[in-house]
């Protein structure tokens, strides 16, 4: 099947997106492959939107392949489907503002201009790795927009929300990946869909 299109299959009467040659399962059936905050967020989201159980998938991967470029090369995945999540912070007076910025792997986050203005801070920079891991409850290399702390903004590039797109992202741990339709990601509680959030590489 084409690796860059929205493909579905019947699996226990559920419809799941698939991508590349990876074996996909319903994410909420394999919570052993997810970080605890991700499990909690998916369950709460599914209670409000039953499509989440049907359309959010997970696959186990080699942790050494968790890096986007490596995973895409090994499994022949399209970079435009990879939803890279970076954490960005800035200050406005005494107020620290943190956001998850989600862009395709074919672009890079426009931190210095677009994100800085959205956060309304004088300077924006990547959150230090130790803080990102400790405060998100997720592993480095597996951080995902699903299940981040309340109060953190989740900014998603509009390219990932288009009909027919897929969003491949972290699961909170390095040993697996989540997959969902882009339009579904756009409806996740707390998500803000932003035009031109990423800059073409």
Mean pLDDT per 10-residue section of the chain, whose length is 201 residues: 41 73 96 98 97 97 94 92 96 96 95 96 96 97 97 96 93 98 96 94 79
pLDDT at residue number 7: 43
What value does the CA radius of gyration of the chain take, rounded to a whole number of Å? 16
Compute the distance between CA of residue 132 and CA of residue 135 in angstroms, rounded to an integer: 6
Domain boundaries, the chain: 7-200
Compute the distance between CA of residue 40 and CA of residue 37 in angstroms, rounded to an integer: 5
116 burial via Cβ count (<10 Å: 0-12, 13-18, 19+): middle
Level-2 CATH architecture, domain 7-200: Alpha-Beta Complex (3.90)
pLDDT at residue number 15: 84
pLDDT at residue number 104: 95
pTM greater than 0.85: yes
Geometric angle at alpha carbon 77, from 9 and 130, rounded to 5°: 110
pLDDT at residue number 201: 79
């Amino acid at each position: 099947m084409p690796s860059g299109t929205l493909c579905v299959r019947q699996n226990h009467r559920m419809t799941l997106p698939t991508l590349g040659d990876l074996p996909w399962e319903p994410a909420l059936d394999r919570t052993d492959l997810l970080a605890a905050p991700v499990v909690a967020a998916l369950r709460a989201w599914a209670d409000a939107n039953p499509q989440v159980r049907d359309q959010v998938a997970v696959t186990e991967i080699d942790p050494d392949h968790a890096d986007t470029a490596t995973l895409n090369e090994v499994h022949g995945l399209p970079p435009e489907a990879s939803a890279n999540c970076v954490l960005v912070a800035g200050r406005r007076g005494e107020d620290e503002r943190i956001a998850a910025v989600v862009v395709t792997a074919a672009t890079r986050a426009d931190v210095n201009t677009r994100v800085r203005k959205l956060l309304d801070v004088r300077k924006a920079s990547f959150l230090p790795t130790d803080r990102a891991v400790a405060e998100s409850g997720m592993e480095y290399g597996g951080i995902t927009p699903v299940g981040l702390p309340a109060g953190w903004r989740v900014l998603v590039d509009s390219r990932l929300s288009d009909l027919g797109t897929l969003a491949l992202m972290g699961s909170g741990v390095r040993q697996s990946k989540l997959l969902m339709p882009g339009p579904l990601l756009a409806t996740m509680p707390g998500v803000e869909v932003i035009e031109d959030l990423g800059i073409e590489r």
